[in-house]
Amino acid sequence: QVQLVESGGGLVQAGGSLRLSCAASGSIFSILVMGWYRQAPGKQRELVALTVNGGSTTTTNYADSVKGRFTISRDNAKNTVYLQMNSLKPEDTAVYYCNAVLKVARTTPPGNYWGQGTQVTVSS
């Protein structure tokens, strides 16, 4: 019943920008973690950015390769996470996957959910 719906991927030239969105829908009690991963052809999936809800505070972390260029943000009211990608490089080309760790009920153990992936292609 829970789904992660992604949008914002596409083709962009090097130096350009894209903004990815991922909205979690369905029966959701709380979201503990939301983040973005990516996988380029022939490579392993890697973490891009995470945002962790620590109650009243939120922490973020980034892969070294995107620090200073990408920004992750979260709208808790909409159960949505964003990834603002600036100064894009050809090596950023990959399928980007949205991920969430969430609970569907107060007493239900957290589950790990993935979006379907969205293609980001950066041309030189």
Q: In this predicted structure, what is the pLDDT of residue 73? A: 96
- pLDDT tens for the chain, residues 1 to 124: 899 999 999 999 999 999 999 999 999 999 999 999 999 999 999 999 999 987 778 899 999 999 999 999 999 889 999 999 999 999 999 999 999 999 999 999 999 999 999 999 999 9
pLDDT at 8: 97
| DSSP secondary structure string for all residues of 32-100 | EEEEEEEE-TTS--EEEEEEEE-SS-EEEEE-TTTTTTEEEEEEGGGTEEEEEE-S--GGG-EEEEEEE
Distance of CA 43 to the CA centre of its chain: 18
Which of 10, 4, 23, 7 shows the shortest CA–CA distance to 92? 10
At residue 50, the pLDDT reads 96
pLDDT of residue 56: 79
pLDDT of residue 100: 97
pLDDT at 10: 97
